[in-house]
Amino acid sequence: MPFLGQDWRSPGWRWVKTEDGWKRCEPFSPALEDGNNQLNDISHTVIITGDDENEEVYSTEDCEFAAKKRKKDHFRNNTESQCFYREKWIYVHKESTRERHGYCTLGEAFNRLDFSSAIQDIRRFNYVVKLLQLIAKSQLTSLSGAAQKNYFNILDKIVQKVMEDQYNPRLIKDLLQDLSSTLCILIRGVGKSVLVGNINIWICRLETILLWQQQLKNLQMNKQVNNGLTLSDLPVHMLNNILYRFSDGWDIITLGQVTPTLYMLSEDRQLWKKLCQYHFAEKQFCRHLIPSEKGHIDWKLMYFALQKYYPIKEQYGDTLHFCRHCSILFWKDTGHPCTASDPNTCLMPVSPQHFIDLFKF
């Protein structure tokens, strides 16, 4: 029986031997094909450099060598030439066996679970952003080269989506702030080799992050012209019900800045009390009672004070799920090939922190 191991070049990909070596077969975009044709044309030209007096004409062999190098760099650096998997799940295994050789990595999980498409789903957007934020705080030093590339590709698409759709820019600002702060600290420790890869690449990434921060700082929210029913036209009790649906105190404050009525509703003591009771245990906020000038408990100040000491409950529209029977990680909507008699009893929702813990070896 042949050994059932992973291909050392890459698992599950088709390879073709060419004159330049082995190349992976994958769908190319029209832009990539045009670039490839341009690179092929370069090998048939003669490059002339220098002034009129000292002209240097390169031979055809030199041109072909330069063209080959450009083509290799083009395939290596082009971010559009990615392999897309049909199955949006990944088998999480931490030990090598005769049937499965090696370990699943964080970079492979980014590709298999298709995080680039997940950010386009409003239910999964906050989940992916929170995951990237946790990685920025604690896992940057352990990211491999492939994981780094996938991480910043996804981050680039998130920033572009926020710039175009203007969706939740505050969340992305917090992510970029944590990432830039962590990078500044790690770059200072370059002598200890704390980062995987060339330090100049990380400096360029830090400059890109600072550029993104400036773009988000200058972001202007577009005013939508709508002659129909607006938020201000809703009855007061409906506006109050909307505020009670929020789980983030900053969202309540932001909505309260829209109209005077919403501001009055956002300052309700009962609203902030319910928010504290939702996120924190009674023993926790009893230790940090903050009375107001009238002698009452200032629940709004208590919420932000408790937020500094204790983690708040995470709430997402959609999360990754882990099947305990198959050891497979997947999005619930896409499913996975489960062999259990009752798959629903084996499913377990995976928080962003739990996702990172799954890939710690």
Distance CA 169, CA 87 (A): 31
Same domain, 210 and 264: no
Domain assignment present for residue 65? The answer is: no
Domain assignment present for residue 75? The answer is: no
Q: pLDDT-based confidence at 26, cuts 50/70/90?
A: low
pLDDT digits (tens, 9 = 90+) for 336-359: 888 888 888 888 888 888 888 887
Domain containing 181 equals 103-220+352-358
How many Cα atoms are found within 13 Å in the side-chain-facing hemisphere of 231? Answer: 14
Same domain, 112 and 195: yes
Same domain, 181 and 284: no
- State the pLDDT at residue 103: 58
Distance CA 335, CA 88 (A): 8
For the cut 70, the answer to whether the pLDDT of residue 42 exceeds it is no
For the cut 80, the answer to whether the pLDDT of residue 188 exceeds it is no
Question: Which position has the token pair 């036209």?
Answer: 233
- State the pLDDT at residue 108: 80
Comparison of pLDDT for 283 and 58, the residue scoring more:
283
How many Cα atoms are found within 13 Å in the side-chain-facing hemisphere of 117? Answer: 11
Domain assignment present for residue 23? The answer is: no
- State the pLDDT at residue 184: 86
- State the pLDDT at residue 313: 80
Domain assignment present for residue 54? The answer is: no
In sequence order, the β-bridge partners of residue 21 are: 18
Same domain, 207 and 297: no
- State the pLDDT at residue 156: 92
pLDDT digits (tens, 9 = 90+) for 201-235: 888 899 999 999 998 888 876 666 566 777 788 88
CB-based contacts of 350, cutoff 8 Å, min separation 6: 319, 320, 321, 322, 329, 358
Domain assignment present for residue 127? The answer is: yes
Domain assignment present for residue 122? The answer is: yes
The dihedral region occupied by 16, where left means phi > 0, alpha psi between -120 and 50, and beta the remainder, is beta
Same domain, 206 and 121: yes
Comparison of pLDDT for 137 and 360, the residue scoring more:
137
Closest alpha carbon to 257 in 276, 283, 231? 231
Distance CA 142, CA 115 (A): 19
pLDDT digits (tens, 9 = 90+) for 77-132: 444 434 445 677 888 876 655 555 555 777 788 888 888 888 888 888 888 999 99
Whole-prediction pTM: 0.65
CB-based contacts of 215, cutoff 8 Å, min separation 6: 159, 163
Q: What percent of the chain clears pLDDT 90, i.e. is strictly above it?
A: 9
Same domain, 197 and 261: no
Please give the tally of structural domains in the chain: 2
Same domain, 206 and 266: no
Comparison of pLDDT for 263 and 27, the residue scoring more:
263
Instruction: Pick the range with the lowest mean pLDDT from 62-71, 145-154, 299-308.
Output: 62-71
Comparison of pLDDT for 138 and 45, the residue scoring more:
138
